[in-house]
Amino acid sequence: MRLGLADVYNPSMLPTLRPGDRLLLGHGARVRPGHVIVVRHPLQQDLLIVKRAAERRSGGWWVEGDNPLVTNDSREFGVVPDALVVARALLRLRLPLRHQRSPLSVLAWLPTAVLPLAARSRRLRAR
């Protein structure tokens, strides 16, 4: 498995991921329902997006963001073919905020700096 890094730029995965977070990626890692994955947008394949693999469907993965207010996911573009799955997110790396310079604020930040992104079950919403 090859490792890589990716930056999170939009709020579609809040509260799990926020803009500014970094992801440690496993290219070629096995994907299961509940995993956070990086895929090529089916309608704009030069754009990489971060979503949760909700379930396997015929032809690929149904992906959804954790933020229900952002619908840039399979509800908009349908199933993502397996060939467009780039990697699985293994860890979330959160940099300290600019104002976190005091020793107390750094101590408060430390437990949130690295978070393993294990599979999380999601109940799909009725359509």
pLDDT tens for each residue of 1-51: 899 999 999 999 999 999 999 999 999 999 999 999 999 999 999 999 999
CATH 3.30.565.10 fits 2-116, yes or no: no
pLDDT band, residue 112 (cuts 50/70/90): confident
Q: Kindly list the domain boundaries of the chain, sorted by start residue.
A: 2-116
Quote the pTM value: 0.85
Q: How large a percentage of the chain has pLDDT more than 90? A: 72
The 8-class DSSP code of residue 100 comes to -
C-alpha distances (whole Å) from 61 to each of 47, 65, 75, 76, 83 are: 17, 13, 12, 13, 10
Question: Can you give the pLDDT at residue 127?
Answer: 44
Non-local (6+) Cβ contacts of 85 within 8 A are 31, 37, 38, 39, 60, 61
Average pLDDT of the segment spanning 93-115: 79
